[in-house]
Amino acid sequence: MVGMIAERENGTLLVAIGCDLATVGDDGEVKRFASVPHEPTGFRLNDGRLDDRGRLWVGLMSNDLEAGTGILYRYDPDGSWQVMDDGFTLINGLAGARIAGRSMSPIPAFRPFTPMTMIF
């Protein structure tokens, strides 16, 4: 299942498929290049966006919406994963999140939420 699609500055499409990240070429070829460092059984990536430094912010959710098991990750251009927040049941709205200055406000489904600070 595709959980998100984002376009890099060079026009490459970046997609989340299950717990993997992949690129989609002009010819439609899908190349997986990274997997979340979390046990993927029963989870999938859901919604994400690239920031202006090329970092992908993406949510991980339980397929059965198990309360509090979701994680907000940041995947950096060097291939490292950072846990930015956790305790979500479902994180949504990153693709349309408002970025004002240094803060991002995703829609926190099923969790009390405080805006987070993005480090640019």
Report pTM: 0.78
Residue 57's nearest CA partner among 85, 31, 34 is 85
The CATH code of the domain that includes 48 is 2.120.10.30
Per-residue pLDDT for the chain (120 aa), expressed as one digit of tens each?
A: 888 998 888 888 999 999 999 999 888 899 999 999 987 789 999 889 898 888 999 999 999 988 889 999 999 999 999 999 888 888 777 765 544 444 454 544 544 444 444 443
- Structural domain count of the chain: 1
Assigned token pair, 18: 């299950």
Range of the domain at 44: 2-117
Q: What share of the chain is helix, strand, coil (3-state, %, to 5)?
A: 0, 55, 45
Question: Contact 8/33 with Cβ under 8 angstroms?
Answer: no
